């Protein structure tokens, strides 16, 4: 399983023999038990490579991955940041990180969580402190129109505190955060791609959110010792208002989420249909499920008043439990059986299939969308007949991407590989055509890949050019930096028949999912508009210190290389709101505003306004200075804040 580019080369000539050589025979590749998984993780992955043996130079020379100095990338990537609570913006194919968009956690670079405006988005407690200071982003997805990204919004989950963040892609800033009521471990997220009933609404209006951890509902101290009463909720958030429209109560749990191209279905893989509260219990059944939510029916049930609510929340909750949904004519959900503890569900760009990866099973399960709809319509007797393929791929399949040419690419966590397979061939193989070779190619990645995505993968415009892989372990790939290793992000050229590894870079842990799309789909604004800030200081003459008893408003205008006013006179104990407007109109001319010993620093972009509030509790002279290099006289760009004792 070690990196060996000679093997990649051989692989590209003889995939068959490499498959045999590189695939351990684990009990004829049957299901992995929990113990086997742990054991395999150690023997196949974590202890598999000795440093120094494998670091052949990457094949980058002359390949199209190179973006020369001064050239621009052709794709944007939006990457979840992981437990740094932010979203990364990458340029591809270079892999250069261009930006980090803070969402759930403070970012001291721009002052996210420090300015009043950002704190309002993040949410504060009655005492003014931030509601939460930690987060964990896993999945980021963009808004759709006609099946492709429209560049309006992106949404990202916070698994830790069950929040949804929305990013305005025009300014690349988070503008709303919604807390999901009665949800713990909010994991998968996916926007719908159009409305299920109104053909005129061909764009995203809902965002679906899967609750991974079942708890007593409401989780207020009752039913602690009654696991059979633990439930989880699948939530629908309005894309515009960001309010929670409805929730569906389900047995077991949700993990990842995917949506159909016709807007009719949202799907979530379930790994704990057992409803286990202990580790072993979650792996006791041979099969789990992929649950499909019938959006139009659920919204009709809400309109008809067929819902309940939980204490502490007014959100309508429909009944999506198994027992309540056995009659296809009225069912709100359809539950398809898939092998043991699946991970990942992805919708193919032709709109026909959902693919669940097996995780503890070496398989991928292909579920045909039309057949799920047929079951709801009473035309398919057995919902499990919606499964059109269940084929072996390798050990530890997690996530799947698509190239728009009928091929799927699935990460194999335990095998440290990506497998390219043909969906139609898999369906034929499943149907009894043993000659149908569905595995097209395999490539070693370094190491233990989790998420994977291809350029434009989950859109109607999947273009099959680039495939990025988030490897959870980097081991020996980079200079050692102590115990906490970087992760390894690798880029694979998938434009030809054979996959070709072309680039890798380390990344600070730990991103999960990401999307890659053509740069033309995004048109960021390069300047703010003063009209969007009601508190803007519109001209230098409006700047000054305005006192109302102990409440003081300091209005500051910045024009490089000076602040106006340059002297701020305060009295100890004043309650100060300090508003800074950057009146510069030149792109890239941002200023910072740092106040020594007051724990304040933030950035104000051209034509933006930002404010902070604090109590002037420390007397003395405080040189507030511009912290963002803006001008030859940047060091002189200061204001003297005097706090009288």
Residue 252: strand, helix, or coil: coil
For residue 199, count CB atoms less than 10 angstroms from its CB and return exposed for 0-12, middle for 13-18, buried for 19 or more.
exposed
The count of other CB atoms within 10 Å of the CB of residue 60 is: 14
**Counting contacts by CB under 6 A, is residue 88 touching ligand K7E?**
no
**Counting contacts by CB under 6 A, is residue 546 touching ligand CUA?**
no
Binding at 513: pick from Ca ion, ligand K7E, ligand CUA, none (beta carbon under 5-8 Å per type) = ligand K7E
> Smaller CB distance to Ca ion: residue 112 or 271?
271
d(CA 294, CA 351): 16
**In sequence order, what E strands does 459-549 have?**
466-471, 487-493, 500-507, 514-518, 544-548
Rounded to a whole number of angstroms, the minimum distance from the CB of residue 257 to ligand K7E is 10
CA atoms within 13 A on the CB side of 209: 38
Stretch that binds ligand CUA, among 157-165, 316-324, 496-504, 631-639 (CB under 6 A): 631-639
In the list 343, 428, 429, 498, the residue contacting ligand K7E (rule: CB under 6 A) is: 343
**Counting contacts by CB under 6 A, is residue 628 touching ligand K7E?**
no
**Counting contacts by CB under 6 A, is residue 398 touching ligand K7E?**
yes
**Counting contacts by CB under 6 A, is residue 187 touching ligand K7E?**
yes
**Which x/- pattern over 486-515 shows residues binding ligand K7E (rule: CB under 6 A)?**
--------------------------xx--
Which residues fall within 8 angstroms of residue 389, CB to CB, at 6 or more apart?
Answer: 364, 365, 366, 423, 426, 427, 429, 430, 431
**Which x/- pattern over 209-248 shows residues binding ligand K7E (rule: CB under 6 A)?**
----------------------------------------
Q: For the CA atoms of 26, 27, 32, 36, what is the dihedral angle to 10 degrees?
A: -70
> Smaller CB distance to ligand K7E: residue 139 or 166?
139
**Counting contacts by CB under 5 A, is residue 94 touching Ca ion?**
no
Q: Are 457 and 401 in contact (CB under 8 A)?
A: yes
> Smaller CB distance to ligand K7E: residue 256 or 401?
256
Considering only residues 549-608, where is the footprint of ligand CUA by CB under 6 A?
560-561, 591
d(CA 358, CA 432): 21
Angle, CA of 64, 69 and 73, to the nearest 5°: 50
5-37 per-residue burial string, b: 16 or more CB within 10 A, e: under 16: beebeebbeebeebbeebbeebeebebbeeebb
Considering only residues 105-144, where is the footprint of ligand K7E by CB under 6 A?
138-139
Binding at 591: pick from Ca ion, ligand K7E, ligand CUA, none (beta carbon under 5-8 Å per type) = ligand CUA
> Smaller CB distance to ligand K7E: residue 194 or 446?
446
Query: Contacts with ligand CUA: how many residues (CB under 6 A)?
Result: 10
Sheet containing 96-102, strands listed edge to edge, beginning at the edge strand earlier in sequence: 96-102, 86-92, 75-80, 514-518
Helices and strands per DSSP (H, E), number in the chain: 7, 39
Considering only residues 450-469, where is the footprint of ligand K7E by CB under 6 A?
450-451
In the list 136, 158, 288, 513, the residue contacting Ca ion (rule: CB under 5 A) is: 288
Q: What is the DSSP letter of 300?
A: H
> Smaller CB distance to ligand CUA: residue 122 or 603?
603
Rounded to a whole number of angstroms, the minimum distance from the CB of residue 159 to ligand K7E is 7
Binding at 288: pick from ligand K7E, ligand CUA, Ca ion, none (beta carbon under 5-8 Å per type) = Ca ion
Rounded to a whole number of angstroms, the minimum distance from the CB of residue 629 to ligand CUA is 5
- Cis before residue 471, ω within 30 degrees of 0? no
d(CA 376, CA 262): 15
In the list 99, 306, 538, 634, the residue contacting ligand CUA (rule: CB under 6 A) is: 634
In the list 88, 152, 399, 628, the residue contacting ligand CUA (rule: CB under 6 A) is: 628
Rounded to a whole number of angstroms, the minimum distance from the CB of residue 201 to ligand K7E is 28
Rounded to a whole number of angstroms, the minimum distance from the CB of residue 258 to Ca ion is 19
**Counting contacts by CB under 5 A, is residue 341 touching Ca ion?**
yes
Assigned token pair, 593: 């505003």
H or E stretch at 79: strand 75-80
In the list 38, 520, 629, 636, the residue contacting ligand CUA (rule: CB under 6 A) is: 629
Which residues fall within 8 angstroms of residue 326, CB to CB, at 6 or more apart?
Answer: none
d(CA 544, CA 533): 18
What would the DSSP string read from start to end of 531-582? Answer: GG-TT---SGGG-EEEEETTEEEEEEEEETTEEESSEEEEETT-EEEEEEEE
Rounded to a whole number of angstroms, the minimum distance from the CB of residue 457 to ligand K7E is 14
Q: List residues binding Ca ion (CB under 5 A).
A: 271, 288, 341
Q: List residues binding ligand K7E (CB under 6 A).
A: 138-139, 187, 256, 343, 398-399, 450-451, 512-513
Q: List residues binding ligand CUA (CB under 6 A).
A: 560-561, 591, 626, 628-631, 634, 637
């Amino acid at each position: 399983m070690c990196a060996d580019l000679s093997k990649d080369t051989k692989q590209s000539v003889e995939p068959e023999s490499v498959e045999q050589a590189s695939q351990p025979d684990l009990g004829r590749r049957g299901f992995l038990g929990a113990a086997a998984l742990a054991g395999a993780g150690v023997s196949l992955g974590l202890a598999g490579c000795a440093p120094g043996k494998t670091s052949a130079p990457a094949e980058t020379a002359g390949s199209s991955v190179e973006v020369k100095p001064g050239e621009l990338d052709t794709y944007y990537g939006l990457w979840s940041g992981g437990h740094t609570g932010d979203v990364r913006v990458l340029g591809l194919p270079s892999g250069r990180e261009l930006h980090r968009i803070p969402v759930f956690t403070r970012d001291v670079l721009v002052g996210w969580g420090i300015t009043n405006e950002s704190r309002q988005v993040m949410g504060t407690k009655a005492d003014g402190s931030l509601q939460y200071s930690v987060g964990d982003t896993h999945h980021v997805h963009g808004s759709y129109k006609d099946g492709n990204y429209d560049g309006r919004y992106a949404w990202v989950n916070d698994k830790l505190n069950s929040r949804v963040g929305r990013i305005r892609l025009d300014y690349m800033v988070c503008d709303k955060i919604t807390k999901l009521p009665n949800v713990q471990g909010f994991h998968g997220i996916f926007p719908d791609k159009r409305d299920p009933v109104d053909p005129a609404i061909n764009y995203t209006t809902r965002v679906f959110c899967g609750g991974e951890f079942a708890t007593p509902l409401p989780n207020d101290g009752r039913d602690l010792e009654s696991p059979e009463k633990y439930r989880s909720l699948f939530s629908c958030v309005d894309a515009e208002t960001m309010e929670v429209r409805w929730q569906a109560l389900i047995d077991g749990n949700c993990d990842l989420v995917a949506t159909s191209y016709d807007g009719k279905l949202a799907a979530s893989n379930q790994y704990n249909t057992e409803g286990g509260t202990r580790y072993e219990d979650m792996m006791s059944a041979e099969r789990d499920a992929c649950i499909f939510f019938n959006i139009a029916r659920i919204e009709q049930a809400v309109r008809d008043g067929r819902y309940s609510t939980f204490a502490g929340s007014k959100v309508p909750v429909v009944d999506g439990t198994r027992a309540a949904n056995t009659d296809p004519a009225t069912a709100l959900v359809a539950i398809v059986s898939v092998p043991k503890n699946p991970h990942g569900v992805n919708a193919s760009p032709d709109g026909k299939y959902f693919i669940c990866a097996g995780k503890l099973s070496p398989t991928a399960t292909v579920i045909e969308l039309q057949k799920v709809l047929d079951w709801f319509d009473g035309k398919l007797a057995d919902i499990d007949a919606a499964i059109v393929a269940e084929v072996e791929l390798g050990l530890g399949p997690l996530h799947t991407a698509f190239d728009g040419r009928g091929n799927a690419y699935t990460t194999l966590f335990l095998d440290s590989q990506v497998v390219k397979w043909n969906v139609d061939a898999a369906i034929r193989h499943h149907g009894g055509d043993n000659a149908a070779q569905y595995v097209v190619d395999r490539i070693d990645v370094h190491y233990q890949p989790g998420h994977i995505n291809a350029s434009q993968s989950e859109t109607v415009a999947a273009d099959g050019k680039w495939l990025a892989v988030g490897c959870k372990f980097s081991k020996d790939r980079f200079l050692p930096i102590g115990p906490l290793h970087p992760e390894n992000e690798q880029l694979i050229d998938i434009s030809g028949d054979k996959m070709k590894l072309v680039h890798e870079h380390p990344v600070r842990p730990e991103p999960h999912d990401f999307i890659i799309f053509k740069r033309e789909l995004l048109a960021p604004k390069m300047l703010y508009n003063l009209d969007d800030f009601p508190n803007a200081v519109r001209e230098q003459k409006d700047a000054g210190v305005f006192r109302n008893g102990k409440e003081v408003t300091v209005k500051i205008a910045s024009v490089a290389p000076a602040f106006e006013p340059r002297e701020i006179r305060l009295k100890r104990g004043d309650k100060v709101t300090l508003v800074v407007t950057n009146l510069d109109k030149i792109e890239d001319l941002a200023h910072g505003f740092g106040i020594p010993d007051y724990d304040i620093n933030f950035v104000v972009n051209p034509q933006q306004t930002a404010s902070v509030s604090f109590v002037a509790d420390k007397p003395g002279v405080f040189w507030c200075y511009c912290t963002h290099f803006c001008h030859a006289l940047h060091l002189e760009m200061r204001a003297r804040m005097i706090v009288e004792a």
